[in-house]
Amino acid sequence: MTEGSISKKILLFALPLFLGQLLQQLYNIADSMIVGKYLGTDALAAVTSSGSLIFLLVGFINGLFMGSTVIIGRRNGEKDEAGISRAAHTSVAFGLIAGLVLTLAGVTITPLLLKLMGTPENVMPNSVLYFRIYFLGGLSNVVYNTCCGIFQAMGDSRRPLHYLIVSAITNVLLDLLFVAVLGFGVGSAAAATALSQTLSACLAFTRLLREKGPHRIHLSKIKIDPPLLAAELKIGFPTAIQNSVIAIANVVVQSNINAFGSTAMAGSGSYFKVEGFAFLPIMSFSMALTTFTSQNMGAQKFDRAKKGTRFGIFMGVACAELIGLLFFLFAPVMIGLFSKEPDVIAIGVRQAHVETLFYCLLALSHCMAGILRGAGKTSVPMIIMLACWCLIRITYITIAVRFFPDIQTIFIAYPLTWSLSSILFTIYYLKADWVHAFQRKSEDL
């Protein structure tokens, strides 16, 4: 990422990320489409309302590992092979511990969290069953993302894609077998996802055991290096807090949606499933910009880093807005993939028509956040996103719904807070001296 054409390097790195996230999205889409078709609206509501709660628990853990990705990328730019090896082994060791904690937490506190979200009684049994089985694969989820972070920090976004192809196909086949053929119910959809995640984790970890580069994992060397872990957490902790608090805000939003009943849950949940596709280019370019920035900062190529950020922002924003426009135009067809009930489709289409044309602002915020994380400035995205996407969003919904008790009032919260965060990120990006701040602090990391 530190040599050659900037646009080519970023695009070639982002494309496998995009395809990989597309396959991950198919995990959820397969669950929802098959469950909605064969098990009905209540089961669909249980599955489609899962996103905010899953992100609450998984997002914190994965956020912590952002630090290891940044540091490995930086060491790669510096050509520090010993530093890469120590960081990779520390990341894997911490991942194993964090994965076990996630599994235990997900299985034990799911009912409490679902009650706090105001999940309707007719949906609660299926929701509890789905979440508990899903989180039995928590260790696999964390291990896979840990391995992916190592590959991506080294500039390799293709191998994770290969593993996801196998995993996604497995997930769809198991969904069809468990739900459509054997009729096992909503829990089997979660089991299909957990088993597929386990397969991808095994493939990624096995490959790291056979690598020839400095990031190769040796079982005997898997241990935590306390100073290095502290440096990783110093970068990753703000992202973890950001992810969790945003997830809590989304849980609050979901609880407000739940108050409108299972039809609203299914319609809005179906919209969020389709919206996941709009996030694909956004997150692909955001992750590519994090790696590009960290490697070029490590190599002391600051002008190249800034040129790459401008290109990445433009591409992320343009792709997201194009997808948003297509979603706006074809919303009835896309929402109809999950349910044939007119009321469910109507809710999903209303949400799409409020939010989709503002995806450019969502992309702008995420791309700038990825740049700043790559530069080690993880506290800035945390502060901006917590202020806009949590505090302001929750405050708006809490007050506005009382005066305008319509579900569209909730939908408006998203473009409103995306606009605010984009303004703040743009001001910081243009005014702050974040490049020279990195130069002054680089030796501490």
How confident is the prediction along the chain (445 residues), in pLDDT tens digits per residue?
678 788 888 888 888 777 777 776 766 666 677 777 777 777 777 676 656 666 666 777 777 777 777 788 778 877 888 888 998 899 899 889 988 988 888 788 878 877 776 777 777 887 888 888 888 888 888 898 888 888 888 878 788 888 888 888 888 888 888 888 887 878 888 888 889 889 989 999 999 999 888 889 999 999 988 888 888 888 778 777 777 777 777 777 877 888 888 788 888 888 887 887 777 788 888 888 888 888 787 777 878 888 888 898 999 899 889 989 999 999 899 888 877 788 888 988 999 999 999 999 999 998 998 888 888 787 888 889 889 988 899 899 989 988 888 888 999 999 999 999 999 999 988 887 655 554 544 444 4
Give the pLDDT score at 205: 93
Q: What is the pLDDT of residue 361?
A: 93
pTM of the model: 0.70
Q: What is the pLDDT of residue 444?
A: 46
Which structure tokens are listed for 12?
């070639």
325 exposed, middle or buried (CB, 10 Å; 0-12, 13-18, 19+)? middle
Report the alpha-carbon distance of residue 261 to residue 23 in Å, rounded.
Answer: 30
CA nearest 89: which of 219, 207, 200, 206? 219
So what's the pLDDT on residue 413? Answer: 92
pLDDT digits 0-9 by tens, 294-353: 878 777 787 888 888 889 899 989 988 998 999 999 989 988 887 778 888 898 899 999
Q: Distances in Å between the alpha carbon of 359 and those of 91, 165, 320?
A: 33, 27, 6
Q: What is the pLDDT of residue 293?
A: 84
pLDDT digits 0-9 by tens, 34-86: 777 777 777 777 676 656 666 666 777 777 777 777 788 778 877 888 888 99
